[in-house]
Structure 1
Amino acid sequence: MNLHRTQPGHAPPAPRPAAVLAVLAAAQFTVMLATSIVNVALPQIRAGVGLSDSGTTWVVNAYGLAFGALLLAGGRAGDLLGRRRVLITGLAVFAAASLAAGLAASPGVLIAARAVQGLGAAAIAPAALALAMGLFPSGAGRGRALGVWGAVSGAGGAGGVLLGGVLTQAWGWPWIFYSVALGAALVLAAVAALLPRAVNHEAGRFDLLGTATVTLALTCLVWGLTTARGAGWTDVRVVGALGGATALFAAFAVIELRQPNALIPPRLLTTGRVAAGNLLMALLGSVWIALFFFLPLYQQQVLGAGPLVTGLGQLPLAGANILGSALAPRVVRRLGPGATVTVALLTEATGLLWLSRISPTGSYLADVLGPSLLIGLGLSIAFVQLTAFAVEGVPPRDAGLAGGLVNTTRQVGGAIGLAALATLAGTVTAHASTHEPHLEALTAGYRTAFAVSAAVLAGTAVLAWGLTRCLGKQRTGAVTVGSVPAAIHKG
């Protein structure tokens, strides 16, 4: 007997919120997986398609830049066109681009495919977050949902390194992209089967001028920072790109103030702790992606680990991340939101400072394991609470945009941070190589990147404490945010 058979004139039974949340979390996991899955395979990818030093960085940054620059547009598109529709379209684009990346035989094709992957991710992430937040009312249920979101986001980053190592060792680097394509296709099928069709959308027009301006500004900024690694900070191209980015950001601010359908409406940044949450998330993101870039390189290029061993070495970090996400609601109930963010950031900073003591003659157990546990715990708890801040009190019409904004600040912060830290590490390594052996010089660059990352997070912790105190204390025990009712029906 079919218990779910519908009677004439009756709607089919609604899917269980837990099942829908699992599917939406799988979409977020797939997006985060693609951010880090290439890192462990970068040496093999470089040899396979003939990448230069700067080209190797762009394999990571092309995805991160397109993802970050277009997230606001993706979030707004979900609000206007329907989140389910935008999510399905994004997953289809993402899967196709992943397949193209695996088939790429030249640097240009690979980097272009990674950029299109980022375009698909920019549609997926804000739509999935808005739909997930609409499943649960404010309260413990919302806190648990954010814990799941934090767990899959962090686990996607660490799990990407593990899966990348396993696949690269077993079948070669193209399979890291084939696996992502298959995963995206499976999530797409589940979304189409479980999420109800849209019943209404918000009215409004799309801010094409603002979107184009901010996208070009971000492109100029990250390209300038990346190019400086090889050309130097005084190169005319670098100076021109950074100057152009400054002018375009100023133009974007003017456009948004005068645009009735602004990509970032002023009302969004005056709601709850949205502005503070996004600022802090950008700073957290600036070291997040760089961590998963430099750590596998140290393990492979200095410690001599293969892709599989390097990937397995990320398991403790992933486990600590999942544990921290599960503990986040309890920690907030005991310490309060502001203190929780501060302590979590300081915990992660301590782990990165520990990593800044790595040695060219070190080992995984002595140099990597302990810091990984601290970083995983601090990163996950900070991510959960900053996501809560960034969508607090947002009205339903802006739910997708708020999800896009918090993902944008993290991803753009990550792209800028990776470009700046890679340039810094490369400069230190080049200088050290004139009087030290190759492994010593490489390690000096990585140590510098980890030390600067630790300093950034320590400063972010101080800023978080000051901002949360200025904004006032939240209700004790709350990890909740403003209600985004019925968002599940907007997709």
Structure 2
Amino acid sequence: MTITDQPPPAGVGAASAAPARTGLRERLVLAVLLTAGFTLAVDFSILNVALPAIGADVGFGLGGLQWIATSFALCAAGFTLLFGRIADLFGRRRLFLVGVAALGLSSLAGGLAGAPAVLLAARVVQGLATAAITPAALSLLTTSFPEGPARDRALGLNGALMAAGFTTGAVLGGLLTDLLSWRWAFHLNVGVAAVVLALAPAVLRETRPARRPRLDVPGALVGTAALLAVVYGLTSAGRYGWSDPRGIGVLLVGALLAAVFPLVERRVAEPLVPPRVLRRRTVAAGNLAGLLAFATETSLVFLLTLYLQRVLGFAPLAAGLAFAVLGLGTVLGGLLGPRVIGRLGGPGALLAGFLGQGVATLPLAFLGAHRGWLPVLLVASFAGGVANLVAIVGFMVTATSGLPDREQGLATGLATMSQQVGITLGTPVMSAIATAGLAGVSSATAVLAGLRVAILVNTLACLGAAALVAIALRRPRPAAR
């Protein structure tokens, strides 16, 4: 069985062809867009370790601290599909610049905030800016490079820097909070936004259709409400447990709205998400696979954090430094991804990545209660990080290939949505599995037993995702003559 894109991707012949040269303008485009993407990835994790200090300085109660992260995540995930389509209709460069300006101003407000309401408002605008910048930057990236090796390399670099940004944010947040102030986590964005705004207008070219279609308002309302409900429901379930009626109720509302969304789209002349796009196997199966790629790896980091701290007794800083090895693996995977795609195609890279991630994760299901298992954890997490980023780059290429430039904002909006939902979904699900058998017992032995089960389920999810790719994205057999 052969795995391929639709239309067929560049295979070995493309890999052997001379790579297209990257000119000065293309390098500047990469520098601007990758800088913005790296900054957004840092933002997802930079405030996590600073939350207690923020609460003490600004006046948040213990129960209110969660909203510093939740308000950002809700907007970043809930509005990404809408903004991706707006980029297609009204201009990607324009939306990118507006988003970067909003990120800079909201970060300035957050860094100067002296009251909880001001800080939360700044985080909401930061989330909206992230929802605008991410699909706009990705679609500018895919439309600036032709489909093939040049685009694959650009997406590989983007994936590598995203992975590095998540790791850097966790480390940088702790350093800034200890050495300077948590406010510098906001102030850094102001400087980056100023540099990007100074360079981007001269480097980026505007792309938008000659005839501007009308925005699908009913679809935008239903789709955005569905995403907001799903993300909030998952976040609530992760905080309060899956038996809490708040999270389950909101998730049911989100599922109902998601079921209504296709019906709404069939009734409008110019839908937010045209049904024919979702009927493409590369888009539908590719985005589901991407969701699983982000869900499995981010949840595995959560499980291994519990293992290092609750079972092996490492301090939080030492546990965080252990994940530097995983970060290196993900960066290497982002750089290797385009080469794998050149040989196997996007779906082939997805399949290879998931198989490699599953094989690397399996040994972690047998971790023991003493520190002699640490080398196994480091080697396996490094290998799994490489494989996961190969899968993620394969997902980005697969989910955006074969679509015209006028729909790249939609394609990257869907891809970003899958990323955000996967990040939000993985941890509460794996946490529920890991703690299902504890029944109030929190000994290291009991925690280890739950973690082993959850890591085994994580492994099976990787292998299941590989099976999904193999079945859904296989090359159709030629008709018999």
Common topology (TM > 0.5):
yes
Instruction: Rate the CA distance shift 1:455–1:390 in 2: closer, same or farther, 3 A.
Output: same
1:469 maps to: 474
| Paired position in structure 1 for 2:417 | 408
Report the CA distance between 1:471 and its aligned residue: 5.4
**1:33 is the counterpart of 2:30:** no
Deviation, structure 1 residue 60: 4.0
> Any idea what SS the aligned residue of 1:137 has?
coil
> What residue is the counterpart of 2:440 in the other structure?
434
| 1:408 to partner: Cα distance | 0.9
| 2:461 corresponds to 1:456 | yes
Query: Cα distance 1:155–1:436, how it changes in 2: closer, same or farther (>3 A)?
Result: closer
Cα distance in 2 for partners of 1:51, 1:471 equals 58
In the superposition, the TM-score normalised over structure 2's length comes to: 0.82
Matched, 1:213 2:226: no
Map 1:79-478 → 2, pairs under 5 A: 79-104=88-113, 110-196=119-205, 202-229=211-238, 233-271=242-280, 273-293=282-302, 295-296=304-305, 299=308, 309-358=318-367, 361-362=370-371, 365-366=374-375, 368-425=377-434, 427-428=435-436, 432=438, 434-437=440-443, 447=452, 449-469=454-474
The range that moved more, 140-149 or 377-386, is 140-149
1:104-145 residue CA offsets vs partner (Å, 9 max, x unmatched): 566665555433322111111111111112222233222222
How far is 1:335 from its partner? 4.2
Q: Distance in 1 between matches of 2:324 and 2:66?
A: 24
Q: CA deviation at 1:345?
A: 1.1
Distance change >3 Å, CA 117–CA 138, structure 1 → 2:
same
Distance across 1 between alignment mates of 2:416 and 2:266: 22
**Could you tell me how far 1:284 is from its partner in structure 2?**
1.5
Check conservation: 1:126, 1:407, Cα contact below 8 A.
yes
In the TM superposition, residue 305 of structure 1 has moved relative to its aligned partner by 5.2
- Judge conservation of contact 2:72–2:126 (CA < 8 Å) in 1: yes
* Cα 1:367/1:163, change in 2 over 3 Å: farther
CA distance in 1, matches of 2:153, 2:467: 27
RMSD: 3.3
Aligned partners of 2:43 and 2:169 also within 8 Å? yes
CA shift in 2, pair 1:80/1:171, >3 Å: same
What is the rounded CA distance, in whole Å, between the counterparts of 1:265 and 1:169 in structure 2?
49
Q: Counterpart amino acid of 2:339?
A: R
1:271 positional shift: 4.5
**Cα distance, 1:184 vs structure 2:** 3.3
Equivalent residue for 1:70, pick from 59, 63, 79: 79
AA aligned opposite 1:458: L
Provide the C-alpha distance between the structure 2 equivalents of 1:359 and 1:51, rounded to a whole number of angstroms. 38
* Conserved 8 A contact 2:147-2:401: no
- Secondary structure of 2:407 counterpart: helix
Q: 1:305–1:231: structure 2 CA closer, same or farther, 3 Å change rule?
A: closer
How far apart are residue 237 of structure 1 and its match? 3.1
Residues 311, 47 of structure 1: alpha-carbon distance in 2 compared, 3 angstrom cutoff: farther
Between 139-148 and 267-276, the greater mean CA deviation after superposition:
267-276
CA offset at residue 433 of structure 1? 6.9
> Could you tell me which amino acid in structure 2 is paired with residue 290 of structure 1?
S
Q: 3-state DSSP class of the match of 2:79?
A: helix
Find the aligned partners of 1:184 and 1:358 in 2 and give their Cα distance.
Answer: 44
Q: Secondary structure at the match of 1:405?
A: helix
How far apart are 1:191 and its partner, in Å? 1.6
- Structure 2: distance between partners of 1:287 and 1:399: 26
2:32 to 11, 18, 23: 23
* 2:272 counterpart SS class: coil
Q: Which amino acid aligns with 2:262?
A: A
> What's the CA shift for 1:451?
3.7
Residues 1:226 and 1:64: Cα distance change in structure 2 (over 3 Å) = closer
1:163-202 deviation digits (Å, cap 9, x = unpaired): 2233233234333333334333333333234224568655
Q: Is the 8 A contact 1:40 1:307 kept in 2?
A: no
Whole-angstrom CA distance in 1 between matches of 2:235 and 2:52:
18
Given the superposition, is the C-alpha separation of residues 183 and 448 from structure 1 closer, same or farther in structure 2, using an over 3 Å criterion? farther
- Return closer, same or farther for 1:139/1:219 CA change in 2, 3 Å cut-off: closer
Q: Residue 467 of structure 2 aligns to which amino acid in structure 1?
A: V
- Maintained 8 Å contact 1:39/1:293: no
445-454 or 312-321, larger mean C-alpha shift: 445-454
119-128 or 286-295: bigger deviation: 286-295
CA–CA distance in 2 between the matches of 1:173 and 1:305? 24
d(CA) in 1 for partners of 2:108, 2:310? 28
After TM superposition, give the deviation of residue 334 of structure 1 in Å.
3.9
Call closer, same or farther: CA 1:208–1:447 in 2, change over 3 Å.
farther
In structure 2, runs of 5+ residues without a counterpart are 1-22
CA contact (8 A) 1:224 1:241 kept: yes
Partner SS state of residue 434, structure 1: coil
CA distance change for structure 1 residues 450 and 191 in 2, over 3 Å: closer, same or farther?
farther
Mapped to 1, the partners of 2:328 and 2:29 lie a distance apart of 24
Measure, in 1, the Cα distance between the counterparts of 2:309 and 2:102.
Answer: 32
Deviation at 1:299, TM superposition (A): 4.7
Stretch deviating more after TM superposition (311-320 or 22-31): 311-320
SS at match of 1:205: coil
Moved over 6 A (4+): none
Alignment CA distance shift 1:361-1:97 (3 Å): farther
- Counterpart in 2 of 1:487? none
**Percent identity (aligned):** 38
Give 1:279 deviation, angstroms: 1.6
Displacement, 1:422?
A: 4.1
Note the C-alpha offset of 1:344: 0.9
